[in-house]
């Protein structure tokens, strides 16, 4: 079962390549948790994905 949530257009979303995200995983996780700012991770040969804090996910 998949659950989808929609981010509102007014949300500021940072973007990172999957390689940069992987290399800086700890700092990206800290950013997502402390600033409640989602990050869009792009992949060259695959679907992009979003990283959001659990707190923000539960509020949406």
Contact between 16 and 44 (Cβ < 8 Å): no
55, 46, 43, 9 alpha-carbon torsion, rounded to 10° = -50
The token duo for 28 is 């990206």
Render each residue's pLDDT in the chain as its tens digit; 60 residues. 444 455 555 566 889 999 999 999 999 999 999 988 899 999 999 999 999 999 888 886
Domain architecture of the chain: domains with CATH: 14-59 (3.40.1620.10)
pLDDT for the residue numbered 14: 87
pLDDT for the residue numbered 60: 64
In angstroms, rounded to a whole number, what is the distance separating the alpha carbons of residues 57 and 7? 10
pLDDT for the residue numbered 45: 92
The token duo for 11 is 């949300």
pTM: 0.74
Residues in the chain: 60
């Amino acid at each position: 079962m998949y659950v989808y949530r929609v981010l509102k257009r007014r949300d500021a979303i940072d973007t990172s390549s999957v390689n940069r995200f992987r290399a800086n995983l700890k700092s990206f996780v800290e950013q997502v948790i402390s600033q409640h700012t989602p990050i869009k991770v792009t992949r060259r040969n695959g679907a992009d994905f979003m990283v959001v804090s659990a707190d923000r996910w539960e509020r949406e």
